[in-house]
Amino acid sequence: MPKKKRGFFITLEGLDGSGKSTQFKLLCARLKLANFQVLQTREPGGHPLAEKIRILLLTTEETPPRPEAELLLFLAARAQHVRDVIQPALQQGKVVVCERFSDSTYAYQVGGRQLSAAFVIQGNRFATNGLKPDLTLLYDLSSNTGLKRAFHAKQGHDRMESGSRTFMEGVRRAYRKIAKAEPKRVKLIRADQSLQKVTKQSWENVEAKIKLIKERCHAVS
């Protein structure tokens, strides 16, 4: 079991092209303006070892990893990231904001790769040391729109973005299943709205928790 945390853990999730990277930057900036100590991080990555694994996972290769190997690489990166970066920051009373976390692994590996849900859940529990986000903002977007946006933004896809429309539809269904199962934690936001509306709704969901965040986190002196 993880040590008792004093900080607040926020994750941002969604298909590539959903705008979560933009919202990640805007949210972190706003929290800092509100005088919170913020740790910005991402998955896969956020730690030197995990960043090396990220390169292995996202680089397009002639021989991509098998789904089972891919899952284990994600979990290995997460185990290092949680224990060496996220948990220490939470114990210091910081607001940790992470772009992607364990929900991504469930959505992509179960909904997309069709791996065993029970095995992925167990693996996530082991890799996270039992840690779960306090709040997750899920940016919901159709798979077709997401693929088009991601391609236009990057003039191409990384390996994880290169899945078929059917694959991405499976990922989206898995994300929505999580949101339905955990409505108190996961807040679904339509990503096909204007940037201003998405940003407003993102902050409203954080603001609804602001009293709790202030109680558990240290403000910058």
Half-sphere exposure of 4 toward its Cβ, with a 13 Å CA cutoff?
2
The count of domains in the chain is 1
Instruction: Count the alpha carbons within 13 Å of 47 in the hemisphere toward its beta carbon.
Output: 19
* 140-161 confidence digits (pLDDT tens): 998 766 556 555 555 445 545 5
Would you say residue 45 lies in a domain? yes
What integer is the mean pLDDT of 20-43? 97
- Asked whether residue 3 is domain-assigned, the answer is no
Note the pLDDT of residue 159.
47
pLDDT at 139 over 90: yes
Domain assignment of residue 195, yes or no: yes
Does some domain include residue 2?
no
**Residue 36 and residue 93 in contact, taking contact as beta carbons nearer than 8 Å:** no
Q: Is residue 1 part of a domain?
A: no
Residue 175 covered by a domain: yes
Q: Is residue 140 part of a domain?
A: yes
With pLDDT > 90 as the criterion, what percentage of the chain qualifies? 79
The CB-side HSE value for 148 (13 A sphere, CA atoms) comes to 6
Between residues 65 and 75, the one the model is more confident about? 75
- Please report which residue ranges of the chain form alpha helices under DSSP H: 20-33, 48-58, 67-81, 87-91, 102-105, 117-128, 143-154, 165-181, 195-207, 210-216
Which is it for the CA torsion 163, 170, 97, 121, positive or negative?
A: negative
In a domain, residue 221? The reply is no
| Mean pLDDT (whole number) for 61-66 | 79
Q: 81 lies in which domain range?
A: 8-216
φ and ψ of 42, to 5 deg: -150, 165
What CATH number is given to the structural domain containing 106?
Answer: 3.40.50.300
The mean per-residue pLDDT over the stretch 78-83 comes to 98
- How many other CB atoms are found less than 10 A from the CB of residue 80? 18
What radius of gyration do the chain's Cα atoms show? 17
